[in-house]
A = this chain, B = another copy of it.
Amino acid sequence: MERIRARYRIETPYPLDEAAAAIAGEQSSGTFVDVPAETESLQERHGATVEEITELETVEEPTLPGARTPAEIDDSDGYRRAEVVVSYPGENVGTSLPNLVTTVGGNLFELRHFSGLRLFDIDVPAALADAYPGPQFGIEGTREIVDVYDRPLIGTIIKPSVGLSPAETGELVGELLEADLDFIKDDELIASPPYSPVKDRVTAVMGAIDSYRDETGNEVMYACNITGDVDEMLERHDAVVNAGGNCVMVSMNSVGLSALTELRKHADVPIHAHRNGWGALSRCPELGYEYQAYHQFFRLAGADQMHVNGIRNKFCESDESVIKSAKAVQTPIASDDDVAMPVFSSGQWADQAADTHEALGNVDLLYLAGGGILGHPDGPAAGVDHLKQGWEAAMKGIPLDEHAKDHQELRVALDHYERR
């Protein structure tokens, strides 16, 4: 089996080779005194190896507390940052995603060797990737369901996030459908609470979608939030499918990796992976994970559509990071079939279309807008139209203001929303 390669950014008061060796040691055979059973041949077969060290800047103050100080270390001139590649024998992990997580991350984040440690990227061995089904639908399968090609799928989130009854939700979706959307999703804050059980909600929503399809021939994807315990998710998945539904949504960090793996085994429809909770794992730049690394666990487990935030979003993430994530989601891990569809959202309207298109280089994405659709002065249909016009302009390389000259909905949007 191939080796697992993991790329970290570290910050450490130790000489870099010593710090990198601490990663390799901790994740193959660390303890605080030498123990007899650790023989050399075992080390050779199962030991982790430092492959590359690239020194970066040195900083005076540690980013994270709890690390040793430079004063405690010989020859230390501060906290050095570096990129480090460590490889692990594939057979230490076998073909197991959760055990991959433990090996490339695990206890490393707590080592006193480091005042910063962040997992930037992983090369997952093909044998491990192949042991998991990956996305069942991905970009192509998602497009096929709604029969939309050559532009991003345009979608919205059912708001208010919480409180609508199934009947009210169905009614609201009925109104939204008039706007000619491709995709509608639940908010992550509503799964199957007592006031809106999945079964009732999906029945009401699919009733509205069925009527709309009968009238127009158009298919709309509804990502129904089935987040819950494993048996609940499987049952809710079946309720979705039985109601004619075509997508399930899961808060991937809340249910966790192995629950998503289990859902995928059972799933007949795409899995829309919401990443709420991601900030806790990523917002400190010298701790946790880059999405490029982290999302791979859930993609291999079977996520078809994966949230990546959006350009000029209302959250804290930089545009550079958003695009890096979206590109990663579209990049094969072990085969061309394992790519997923990035989901852009948060403060999105026509404003960000051109920059998103240029940075990503394609239109294989889901573009979600809340206020960008519902808040359009001329109503949701105009909201959706302005988004399609914005993307048309982006794809044709026409400046927004110029395109707005003969596109009313776009023009109204440009006057209404704040450009950022």
Question: Which residue numbers of A lie inside 8 Å of B, CB to CB?
Answer: 1, 27-38, 42-43, 45-46, 63-67, 91-94, 96-99, 101-103, 105-112, 157, 159-164, 172, 188-195, 227-233, 251, 253-262, 265, 276-281, 283-285, 287-289, 309, 314-318, 347, 370-371, 374-375
Contacts and interface: CB of A to CB of B under 8 A. Distances in A.
Given A189-B103, A254-B99, A258-B255, A35 B371 contact: yes
B37 A193 contact: no
Nearest to A294: B280
20 contacts: A31-B370, A31-B374, A32-B375, A34-B375, A36-B374, A37-B159, A42-B160, A42-B164, A45-B163, A46-B162, A66-B316, A66-B318, A96-B191, A98-B229, A101-B251, A107-B188, A109-B283, A230-B259, A283-B287, A284-B284
Of listed A29, A108, A189, residue having the most chain B CB within 10 A: A189
Shortest beta-carbon contacts, A-B, top 9: A256-B256, A66-B316, A109-B279, A258-B259, A33-B375, A33-B371, A110-B279, A46-B163, A98-B254
B193 A91 contact: yes
Contacts of A374: 31, 33, 35-36
Contacts of A260: 256
A375 B315 contact: no
Contacts of A262: 229-231, 259, 262
Nearest to A97: B229
Contacts of A228: 96, 98-99, 258
Contact of A96 (B36, B227, B265, B288): B227
A251 B316 contact: no
Nearest to A107: B276
A93 B191 CA distance: 8
Copies in the complex: 2
Of listed A30, A42, A65, A280, residue having the most chain B CB within 10 A: A280
Contacts of A317: 66, 110
A347 B107 CA distance: 14
Contacts of A64: 283-284, 316
Nearest to A371: B33
Contact of A277 (B30, B67, B106, B316): B106
A42 B165 CA distance: 10
Contact of A276 (B30, B45, B102): B102
Nearest to A61: B61
A92 B225 CA distance: 14
A189 to B, nearest CB: 6
Nearest to A161: B29
Nearest to A376: B33
Given A29-B160, A102-B276, A112-B315, 19 more contacts: A31-B159, A31-B374, A35-B370, A37-B160, A42-B160, A65-B316, A92-B163, A96-B191, A96-B193, A98-B251, A98-B255, A106-B277, A109-B277, A110-B315, A112-B316, A230-B262, A253-B256, A256-B260, A284-B284
Contact of A280 (B105, B254, B256): B105
A232 to B, nearest CB: 8
B195 A91 contact: yes
B31 A371 contact: yes
Given A35-B374, A102-B251, A258 B261 contact: no
Contacts of A347: 32
